Amino acid sequence: MKFKNRIFLILISSFFLSLLIFIFQSNAILSADNNNSLQKYNDNFDEYRKAYQEYIQSKNTYLTYKTLISQNEALDKTKKLLEIRDDVLISYYNLLKEKINQTEGITPFEQTLKGNTIDTRIKFLEDHKMTISPIASLDDIVNKSKEIDKISQEINIEADKTIGAILVGKVRNNSDFLYKDLLEIKQIISDIKSSGKDVTKLERWTLDINTKYQLAVSKLDEAKSLFESLSQNEIYKEKQDFAKAKKLTTEAHQYIKEANFNAKEIINEIKYGPY
């Protein structure tokens, strides 16, 4: 091979290699951007932890010395803390909204409803954040914090309800798929039956899958109504109900898993049985 040709070949290979590096790099950056909401939430939470430490320190200094300088420092640090606390809640709500929109088993109506509730909360928190900066006294900043403290239980329960909707949605999506599979299996069995084969065993197995599907659906319905009925009146009961609803969702998931495995067994039986 001529020298010129060799050089040309090397250059062409390096060109494609660098192009590959570029494509790989772009994909890596793109996938990092997909986790943007979660990243922002984590970043805000890290900042909150730092701001909280600074607030505690400045509060202790103020309570010990009671000087004007320490008072001013405490005010500044508390203002910063409150602003970041609002940011954490805003990014948390954005994360919830993203999850709601990504979960396939949630109906568009429910997605819009939850999305609107979240948007209202975000607007409230943004407005609240804007009013923090002009505050000039410790009493006022404490009162400003109480505005969020008053609704903290409410937003906590709202978040639990949204998490519940996400969990139920995830499992519901799979139960819908299972239902469609069940219909197809029944159709295939009916075709085999019309060809004169004995399908008693297959029908019995299908009945088992159907029972598991029904159990899963009833557990999901129970979990959904429990998640939706969460109330702030009795916080201890709320946490208990949340745990109970979560358990019901897990049980429904387990039933669907078993039913799906049984469906696989039926397919194997049809493929390799006496039909």
Partner 1 sequence: MEEIENYIPEEEYPVKKEVKKIDSFTVIVVILLSIILFILIFSLISYFTSINRPKEKNENIKPTITIIKPSPTLVIKPSSWATDSAILKLEEKINSQGESLNSIDLNETVLTFPSLDFNINFEKK
| Minimum separation from the CB atom of position 141 to partner 1 (A) | 7
SS3 134: coil
Segment near partner 1 (CB under 8 A); pick from 73-81, 106-114, 123-131, 214-222: 73-81
Site for partner 1 in 116-175 (CB under 8 A): 138, 141-142, 145, 148-149, 152, 155-156, 159-160, 162-163, 166-167, 170-171, 174
Through-space distance between the first and last CA atoms of the chain, rounded to whole angstroms: 65
Segment near partner 1 (CB under 8 A); pick from 112-120, 128-136, 211-219, 253-261: 253-261
Please select the residue that binds partner 1; options are 80, 97, 99, 224, rule is CB under 8 A. 99
Segment near partner 1 (CB under 8 A); pick from 107-115, 211-219, 229-237, 261-269: 261-269
Segment near partner 1 (CB under 8 A); pick from 112-120, 124-132, 179-187, 224-232: 179-187
Please select the residue that binds partner 1; options are 125, 178, 216, 230, rule is CB under 8 A. 178
Torsion of Cα atoms, 92 then 98 then 102 then 103, to 10°: 40
- Per-residue b or e along 115-152, where b marks 16 or more CB atoms closer than 10 Å to that residue's CB: bebbeebbebbeebbeebeebeeeeebeebbeebeebe
Q: Which is nearer to partner 1, 48 or 226 (CB)?
A: 48
- Per-residue b or e along 42-54, where b marks 16 or more CB atoms closer than 10 Å to that residue's CB: eebeebbeebeeb
